[in-house]
Structure 1
């Protein structure tokens, strides 16, 4: 499966969705997208690799370089890993991914603390009747980004 990279914004963080195979043939597209987002001003990023079928050492190196690039700008990176029983996660664990990164099992988990903060900020507006119908979840607007594919 070809590499696919798309991104959007949630709770003030850029969420990058990566799917397919992250190997020598597609890693340049991933590296370019992540670096471009950072140079364009992104300082808080969640990279969701939960739909990655394969990730070799070149893909891991891109994730480490992204983390370093963000850290050098006082930014933060959170990583969403594939399921615990997947081959890809087992390989990434051999690389030490969970020791190096702020790793999560889902985008929702990675952003949970931010969601709670946004909901707490919006609580006074809800009680004043400015929000939607009672019981409706307040979710900030999401910005969708472009899709990059590599064959």
Structure 2
């Protein structure tokens, strides 16, 4: 399946939908789109890879590079992963995706705390707990400088 990348905005966050195969043949399109969004000022991004059928190390590297680019500009990146029993998720877990990224099971979960704030609702317990857990996860370091979300 060919790679497809589309995006929109929800609650002030850019939501990028990725579908298909993220491998050496299609990774440049993903890299270019994500970099362009960041350089255009999108500093809060949810990348939904729940419809990705395959993601190799080049795709993972693009996600890491995008996170670093956002972090260096004071931005944040949240990921929506494929289902727990999918091959793609298992591979990404081997790469250590949950130690590096704030991960969610759906776009709605990724934006639950924002939706609650916009609508004046109390933050969902799961979203609040997820945010605390994400803050406690060690983040990669560049040199002696910690990468901040």
Normalising TM by the smaller chain, what interval? 0.7 to 0.9
Tell me what 2:103 maps to.
103
The CA RMSD over aligned residues, in Å, is 0.8
Aligned ranges 1:2-151 → 2 under 5 Å: 2-120=2-120
TM-fit CA distance, 1:68: 0.1
Distance in 1, Cα, partners of 2:116 & 2:9 = 16
Show structure 1 runs of 4+ deviating over 3 A: none
Q: Deviations over 1:7-36 (max 9, x none)?
A: 000000000000000000000000000000
Q: Deviations over 1:84-116 (max 9, x none)?
A: 000000000000001100000000000000000
Secondary structure at the aligned position of 1:2 is classed as coil
Structure number, greater radius of gyration: 1
Bigger relative CO (Cα 8 Å, ≥ 6 apart):
1
* Matching residue of 1:135: none
| 1: CA distance, partners of 2:100 / 2:70 | 14
CA distance in 2, matches of 1:41, 1:26: 24
Q: TM-score, normalised by structure 1?
A: 0.79
TM-score, with structure 2 as normaliser: 0.81
- How far the C-alpha of 1:3 sits from its partner, in A, is 0.1
Alpha-carbon distance, 1:82 to partner? 0.3
Does the residue aligned with 1:85 lie in a helix, a strand or coil?
coil
